[in-house]
Chain A
Amino acid sequence: MKIQWTEFRILTVMLLLPLLLPLLPACTPQAEKPVVVIYVSVDQVYAEPILKRFEEQTGIRVLAVYDVEASKTTGLVNRLIAEQGQPQADVFWSGEFVQTLLLQQEGVLTPYASPESTSLPDHLVDPNHYWTAFGGRARVILINTDRILLSEAPRGLADFLDPRWQPERIGLANPLFGTTCTHAAALYAIQGPAVARQFFADLAGRGVRILDGNSVVRDMVAAGQLDFGLTDTDDACGALANGAPVAIIYPDQDSTGTLVIPNTVALIAGGPHPQEGRLLIDYLLSPSVEAALISSGWFQIPTRTEATAPAVGTGCLDSLPQRMITVPLADIYHQLEAAKSDLTEIYLR
């Protein structure tokens, strides 16, 4: 079928119409309202109300892009790196710290010392103010109480290797991705690479189940398909809130302590709205937001003492971990590459 010159022109117009339609929103004036763009690696269901409140309080319109767990951390962080020449985002808010430190190393971030960071513990604030950490989710063992008595429940990561537990009824998320990967890097930092590597090799050798994400661990423990598994407190609390027969155990309270993974927030270098970005960072680091995020169930471990009350009052946690892993965040980050390399060899076979 040959297309003639006139038809060619008609078709070109037809082609341009749908192409131009999507551009219209970009051309529509937004009534001079100030804007801030934030990339969020925190579940939308928790982050969105916080950002809406910021809009109401400041009149600054927040344009957010939310990451999804299924992207296996190849989503927004890679977008930020790829956009480095011409950044679109002003602020990055992450549910953990490893990716933020990576962005710092890649030169994506710019320093900002928020006045709100003065009330935070020193180890949660980057010495050069490239990022600030706040709040936290603990890595916990979630047990199914229909299958395990609380008095006989596992107390630490070493129990994952205990022969009294059937390996096919124990699970953790794929340690190549997400907070389980961060946890692995933390073990590398605390125990040394050789010991940590052996631990994961033994887990694989035993046949402990490797699942697609912490939420899958939560669902399988809640459904009784697993006796227990390693997950985050936000997932664990979600199962409790849904009335599942589960209980939360802080691991290794008598040895290395429980890993708490804080949220991080950072200003993007060369972002289009730096002033609004700084205001948003101040807001996110405020004690009221920390309390709100604890109340909503996004994180459970407060970084300020005044936020403790709602943490233990939500009905999820009876108490906070007595002993936490205190290795500097940067040390954990520096173990990440070695941990990922080893874990790829162990688990992706």
Chain B
Amino acid sequence: MPGQPRRPGFQFLWVLAAIVICVGPVALLLLAALRGVIQHPDWLLLVWPSERRARLLWNSLSLSGSVAVVGMLTGLPAGLAIWRLPTRIKRVLQWLVLIFVPLPPYIHALVWLAAAQGINTVLLSLGLPPISLQGWGGTFWIQWMALLPLAVGITLLALQTVDPATIEVGQLLAPGFSVLGRIVLPSSAPLLLSGTGFLFLLTLIDHSVPGLLGLNTYALDIFAEFSATNQPARAFLLAVPGLVVSLLVLLGVQSGIRRIAQPGAQPGAGSGSQSGNWSRRSILHFPLPGWFLVLEQLAVALVTLQIIVPLATLVGEVGSVDRFKQSLFAARSEINYTLWLSLAAALLCLILGWLTGSGLSQSRRQSAVVWWLVTLPLAVPAPLIGIALIMAINHPPWSLVYASAAMPVLAAVSRFLPFATILMAAQINRTDPLLLDAAQIACANPIRRLVKIQLPLLAPGFLAAAILIFSLTLSELGATLLVIPPGRATLTLRIYNYLHYGASAEVAGLGLMLVGVLVLAFLLLVLGYSLWLRLRRVE
């Protein structure tokens, strides 16, 4: 900024803050584990998986790997199909696909089990054998369906990183499928691979769906250990083999993240062609072979199925509008709190993610270690994060914070900040740095510069990160339960409470509400963004 000395290094503080938030809980668990090992050396044996645990680990790895690969292989053609649609339809569809992201996988499982029961009634009446959603196959199907919206979302985001100019050039030189194979896929590959890694990690640490469907996994073993001993240190030690695998996956993911998050590391970066390309969609009408279009249609059909089945089942279970209204009224305080909590977490993650992503995208010198540290919470089971937060904050002078409604926000930030950082780093990288530098010179007022130039340029990344963090916070359970202040409850906690009670109509009503809350947030965000754009045009 002219006339103002630059103070290099302060941005590093945000990176440091993000590392503390992300790594702090894990570091505390590690310390507790080390203390435990010193006092009980035999605990160290937990780190090395026995024959039984090795089998469980294999169950987990095969499931997670299959869900991640198949999920992205389905998400990719579906995302490509949506990406090539006219802008208006695309905008609606991409939000529609994402509305079931916040529905917890456990609810997805219940929905699909109910659907399977209905299908089986028909199959049996026709004399056909019933389908079973038990075991590995059923767990795979439900995790695949539950994560499919996220896979499509990641694909859409990855495709946003493709430089339109290179597609234009590619179409001139070798039109058709070559554009997809030689330009679009290689350019979006880093984020697609990262997305595959995230799907892998999300499946690896989930114990709820495998538990429901009778598949023994390593995550369930960790929970059994935690439940049996109530020792977070032992659970953490037991989690080490899974953590090692997760870290290897994260290393792979990071190469993709760093590639998109560092200037000049992707085609077209810094060329000035990335800015404002949201409306440049005419160039995307490149011809594709028939077999690929069939693949796309199949993938879109699966995504449609993934939307229709949960929606129809939930609506069917609710039964009547009056019952839905009753559920809505009974859960009004939970709805208010959940909305506010998710908004606060999304806001915090956005700003921290922006600052951290901006710091990390500045230099090639950023080591893999920093990325590794920032993404570490993705590999840690949620209850352990909750326990670590209690260990960290339930002391003077933090008692006020611990007893406040801020704790679930902190838990959500600790768990989901990596997503915001990655998304913002990707967005910052695909924004033309020349425009940002020009803004520094042309606009002296920092608030005007922030509102008029920087935020509009980063808006797509902000929107994507806001919706993802909002969705994930809506469905968070494991860490929230451990830190939620007395007298408060979230919508997801209420759903799980009703699950035991067996009130399926109420569970369905609350599940619909969860979806409704997200749709409302989508609409408000998108409408607000459109209104803002219009106002700017009027100005």
Is the CB–CB distance between B395 and A86 below 8 Å? Answer: yes
Cα(A106)–Cα(B499), bound, Å: 30
Does A19 touch B at the CB level, under 8 Å?
A: yes
Task: Provide the residues of chain A in CB contact with B404, threshold 8 Å.
Answer: 22-23, 25-26
- Select which of B214, B399, B400, B489 is within 8 A of A209 by beta carbon: B214
- Select which of A17, A22, A76 is within 8 A of B405 by beta carbon: A22
Write out, one digit per residue, whether chain A residues 232-266 have a CB within 8 A of any chain B CB (1) or not (0).
Answer: 00010011001000000000000000000000000
Q: How many chain B residues touch A (Cβ–Cβ < 8 Å)?
A: 89
Does B529 touch A at the CB level, under 8 Å?
A: no
- Select which of A18, A69, A78 is within 8 A of B387 by beta carbon: A78
Is the CB–CB distance between B496 and A26 below 8 Å? Answer: no
A81, closest chain B residue (CB): B230
Cα(A347)–Cα(B224), bound, Å: 11
- Select which of A3, A44, A86, A211 is within 8 A of B214 by beta carbon: A211
Cα(A17)–Cα(B399), bound, Å: 19
Give the contact stretch, choosing among A7-15, A153-161, A307-315, A324-332. Answer: A7-15
Cα(A148)–Cα(B206), bound, Å: 37
Task: Provide the residues of chain B in CB contact with A219, threshold 8 Å.
Answer: 502
Task: Provide the residues of chain B in CB contact with A202, threshold 8 Å.
Answer: none
Task: Provide the residues of chain A in CB contact with B449, threshold 8 Å.
Answer: 7
Write out, one digit per residue, whether chain A residues 76-89 have a CB within 8 A of any chain B CB (1) or not (0).
Answer: 11110111011011
From residue 30 to 47 of chain A, which have CB atoms closer than 8 A to chain B? 37-39, 43-45
In the complex where A8-B11, A45-B497, A88-B394 touch, is A74 in contact with B446 (Cβ < 8 A)?
no
Which residues of B are at the interface with A, using a C-beta cutoff of 8 A? 1, 4-7, 10-11, 52, 55-56, 106, 117, 207-208, 211-214, 216, 220-221, 223-228, 230, 232, 340-341, 343-344, 347-348, 351-352, 354-355, 358, 361-362, 383, 386-387, 390-391, 394-396, 399-406, 409, 428, 431, 433, 436, 440, 446-447, 449-450, 454, 477-478, 481-487, 489, 493-494, 496-503
Would you mind naming 22 contact pairs between A and B with Cβ atoms under 8 Å apart?
A1-B358, A2-B362, A4-B440, A8-B7, A11-B351, A19-B409, A23-B400, A23-B401, A25-B405, A68-B497, A70-B208, A77-B230, A78-B226, A82-B387, A83-B394, A85-B394, A176-B227, A210-B214, A211-B212, A238-B502, A340-B227, A348-B221
Which residues of A are at the interface with B, using a C-beta cutoff of 8 A? 1-8, 10-11, 14-15, 17-19, 21-23, 25-26, 37-39, 43-45, 61-79, 81-83, 85-86, 88-89, 102, 106, 174, 176-177, 209-213, 215-216, 218-219, 223, 225, 235, 238-239, 242, 336-337, 340-341, 344-345, 347-349
Instruction: Known pairs A211-B214, A349-B216; list 18 more (Cβ under 8 Å).
Output: A3-B11, A4-B4, A14-B351, A15-B352, A15-B355, A22-B340, A43-B497, A44-B497, A69-B500, A77-B230, A78-B226, A83-B394, A86-B395, A88-B486, A174-B211, A337-B228, A340-B224, A349-B56
